Amino acid sequence: MSDLTTIARPYAKAAFDFAVEKDQLDQWGQMLSFAAEVAKNQQVKELLSSSMSAEKLAEIFVAICGEQVNAHGQNLLQVMAENGRLKALPDVSAQFFALKKEHEKEIDVEVISAFELSSEQRANISSKLEVRLARKVKLNCSVDQALLGGVIIRAGDLVIDNSARGRLNRLGDALQS
């Protein structure tokens, strides 16, 4: 899978740079999402694995995408087909959205709590993280009663474990050392 990630990177970067230049980030995001979903379809996967010519494959793929993909998007699909890279479309889409989030200074933050957070608590966490991370924060909250109390916050490489379970583990480690 890391192979497809490496293959996808230059295509995602090129699409992203073009979208920024033309001020069409949302439109390109929709096109790439749609094309990625088409590429994930089982029948299309079989087609991509066949020994069909690149021109015919590009023609079929563009026809399937139809009006969901504009002329520039169709050009990207044709180039990817010529290079045998249409299988990498889901990775291209994922990397495009990662670049878009970075460009728009957004970050997805996972918040795991022992109990359901109130809207006031979510707003408080969100505002403090926006200041700390200097980004717009999108919270993805979930509940794990095994934490006993408190929260665990994951934002990229940053992990803040303020759960009762985490505190007890740290206390146990300190006592053993």
Q: Both 16 and 47 in a single domain? A: yes
Say how far apart CA 30 and CA 151 lie, in whole Å: 34
Q: How many domains, in total, are found in the chain?
A: 2
Contact criterion met (CB below 8 Å) for 117 and 57: no
Three-class secondary structure of residue 163 per DSSP? strand
pLDDT per residue as tens digits for the range 46-87: 887 777 788 888 888 888 888 888 989 989 989 998 888 888
For 93-139, write each residue's pLDDT tens digit.
999 999 998 888 888 899 999 899 999 999 999 999 999 988 899 99
**Same-domain check for residues 77 and 124:** no
pTM, 2 dp: 0.70
The amino acid sitting at 109 is V
Based on the fold, state whether residues 21 and 46 are members of the same structural domain: yes
Q: Which domain range does residue 55 map to?
A: 2-102
